[in-house]
Amino acid sequence: MVQPYHHEPFTDFSVEKNQLAYQEGLRTVEGYLGRDYDLLIDGEQVTTDEKIVSYNPANKSEIIGRVSKANKELAEKAMQAALEAFKTWRKTKPELRADVLFKAAAILRRRKHEFSALLTKEAGKPWREADADTAEAIDFLEYYARQMLELKNGVPIQSRPNEFNRFEYIPLGVGVIIPPWNFPLAIMAGTTVAAIVAGNTALLKPASNTVIVAAKFVEVLQEAGLPKGVLNYIPGSGSEIGDYLVDHKDTRFISFTGSREVGVRINERAARVNEGQIWLKRVIAEMGGKDTIVVDDEADLELAAQSIVASAFGFSGQKCSACSRAIVVESVYDQVLARVVELTKALQVGDPTNRETFMGPVIDQSAFSKILDYIEIGKSEGRLVAGGTGDQSKGYFIQPTVFADVDPEARIMQEEIFGPVVGFSKAKNYDEALQFANRTEYGLTGAVITRNRDKIQQAREDFHVGNLYFNRGCTGAIVGYQPFGGFNMSGTDSKAGGPDYLLLHLQAKTTSESY
Ligand code: NAP
Ligand code: MG
């Protein structure tokens, strides 16, 4: 009997006991800052001379840790280990594979605030955002373990008196897992454990900005009893070992979450059949977003403004689901814009280790420059009404920025900025607002603020995004409640945290026995 699934609750940080628990976590993390971490290949720790150094984006001089760096030779060694481990792991009972995830979830829950504090330090996540990231990681473990238990006997099919037929799911083989830095625990853990609980073995190439939290999570899986070779941890350069592993003849599938540019590249390279390769690779690719909140004139305008601000500036806008476009119907445009500007100017930006901070830094130097470049572009495409400046003297801080009166076709309304920038466009009416909303090459999330049932139905049919929300913001999907993934250039619509997700890591086998 599989226990029912409930998502991990968010921590209420207004409670003093919880504040102390987070601060205790922060002290634990501060106790191990600057340490060295190894690769993990076939259960062995491997140290290299070359390192990836992880810095605190809120305080550039603070080193979070240094991780050994895999090259092609070590990536090949990891591939061989994963191929070998697949021979036994694919036959390990699904219940035992699920148990590793359940135990890892228990360990994470026990060390919840330590992991959240590490996310604050390594990725610049304020308390609430870090807490949600850790909770989501726990949810993925709990959810995919249950999903495996539900799928383990396959699906009943018809048999006849003289034959017995079965339809079962078997794993694929070795998967290459390539997550982004923006949910350095949740997405990294979710994509990794989905692959392995399904009976595959995996090579995890974490995002280079957030290698330490990935190293710590791999330790958790080891502690939870994952056998050697099932998961190999091989941080390294995306272009060097990323391409090598994507091209590898023995790679059976690739699970990627990240930018459109890299996702398209992986998809193209994976399509090529290389020498010795005897299958077509499967690609799961979740990519960028350019997500819109539509505000109707029959709407709670305060809710609209609050939703836009929270969705645009939570984690400095560095979410694939972040609201970067607000499309507002003409008659209420000025009012919503004015309230958004007011709320934005009141946001507290600064050190994410302070509980009061709403918004911390952006992830690194190149993100900082790219976002400021877009802000310059925005100044010629719209009217700057809040923010617009950055300061990188200590960390990579950018003020939450609002542009008004932008053409929905303008660059800042079309290209993913991945920073705290939102543009406003005016629509003549609701129909036009939905048209504007759909006019991007992406299709990840969107939200509609309206009190009108017919308009909700209209958006349900015509607003083409993988995750559509009504009368709330467009971020914050919860595992098992809002399965997540996008249309068009946002990806393959894999719906992480949803009932179909594990099937992407499995293949169906029919057996028919004649009596
Ligand atoms: P990214 O630059 O595309 O990197 C993602 C991962 O790909 C990293 O691990 C990166 O390694 C690796 N990589 C880079 N080049 C590669 C190559 N040639 N072959 C194989 N792997 C390669 O994205 P990011 O900056 O980390 O993350 C932000 C992006 O992710 C945004 O576009 C955001 O919208 C998207 N995202 C989408 C979702 C979703 O569910 N749709 C969720 C979260 C984020 P290095 O770090 O070593 O470069
Ligand atoms: Mg990157």
Residues paired with residue 399 on neighbouring β-strands, in sequence order: none
| 220 and 152 together in one domain | yes
Q: What pLDDT does 2 receive? A: 77
Q: Is residue 434 pLDDT above 90, yes or no?
A: yes
Question: How far is residue 70's CA from residue 237's CA, in Å, rounded to a whole number?
Answer: 8
- The answer to whether residues 346 and 434 belong to one domain is yes
Query: How much of the chain is helix, strand and coil, in % rounded to 5?
Result: 45, 20, 35
421 located within any domain = yes
Ligand 1 proximity of 477 Cβ (cutoff 6 Å):
no
**Taking every pair of C-alpha atoms in the chain, what is the biggest distance, in angstroms?**
77
The response to whether residue 297 sits with its C-beta less than 6 Å from ligand 1 reads no
- Classify residue 415: in a domain, yes or no: yes
Kindly give the distance from the C-alpha atom of residue 236 to the centroid of ligand 1, in angstroms, as a whole number.
13
- Domain annotation covers residue 170: no
Q: Are residues 447 and 433 in the same domain?
A: yes
Same domain, 106 and 124: yes
pLDDT at 84: 98
Same domain for 341 and 458, yes or no, is yes
Would you say residue 55 lies in a domain? no
Q: Are residues 300 and 373 in the same domain?
A: yes
Q: Ligand 1 in contact with 203 (CB < 6 A)?
A: no
For the stretch 416-427, pLDDT in tens is 999 999 999 999
**358 and 420 inside one domain:** yes
Which positions are catalytic? 286, 320
323 strand-pairing partners: 291
Q: Name the residue of 51, 69, 178, 256 whose CB sits within 8 Å of the most ligand 1 atoms, as the mutation to test its pocket.
A: 178
Residues 249 and 379 in one domain: no
Q: What is the average pLDDT across 253-277?
A: 98
- From residue 501, alpha-carbon distances to 111, 151, 283, 468 in Å are 27, 11, 13, 19
For residue 180, give the ligand nearest its CA.
Answer: 1
Distance 217 CA to ligand 2 centre (A): 20
For residue 367, give its domain range.
Answer: 291-478
Question: Per-residue pLDDT for 470 more than 80?
Answer: yes
Q: Do residues 186 and 136 both lie within one domain?
A: yes
pLDDT tens, 33-69? 999 999 999 999 999 999 999 999 999 999 999 999 9
What is the number of domains present in the chain? 2
Query: What crossing angle do the helices spanning 186-197 and 211-223 adopt, rounded to 10°?
Result: 40
Q: Distance between CA 320 and CA 259 in Å, rounded?
A: 9
Contact 133, 116 (CB under 8 A): yes
In a domain, 114, yes or no: yes
| Closest-approaching ligand to the CA atom of 208 | 1
What CA–CA distance (Å, rounded) separates 176 from 255?
6
Query: 207 C-alpha to center of ligand 2: Å?
Result: 7
Q: Which pLDDT score is estimated for 3? A: 84
- Please provide the average confidence, as pLDDT, over all residues in the chain: 98
> Do 349 and 223 share a structural domain?
no
Same domain, 106 and 119: yes
CATH number for the domain that contains residue 338: 3.40.309.10
Q: Are strands 401-404 and 383-386 parallel, antiparallel or unpaired?
A: antiparallel
The residue whose C-alpha atom lies closest to atom 11 belonging to ligand 1 is: 238
Report the separation in Å between the CA atom of 413 and the middle of ligand 2, taken as the mean of its atom positions: 21
- Ligand 1, atom 26: closest residue by C-alpha: 180
Residue linked to tokens 């076939």? 42
Burial of 212 (0-12, 13-18, 19+ CB in 10 A): buried
pLDDT of residue 506: 98
pLDDT in tens, 13-33: 999 999 999 999 999 999 999
Residue 1 confidence (pLDDT) above 80: no
CATH of the domain at 182: 3.40.605.10
**Do 299 and 271 sit in the same domain of this protein?**
no
Any ligand 1 atom below 6 A from CB of 465 = no
Query: Does 368 reside within a domain?
Result: yes
Give the number of whichever ligand sits closest to the CA of residue 263: 1
Burial group, residue 484, by CB count within 10 angstroms (0-12, 13-18, 19+): buried
From the CB of 42, is ligand 1 less than 6 Å away?
Answer: no
Reference 318, options 346, 345, 270, 352; nearest CA is 352
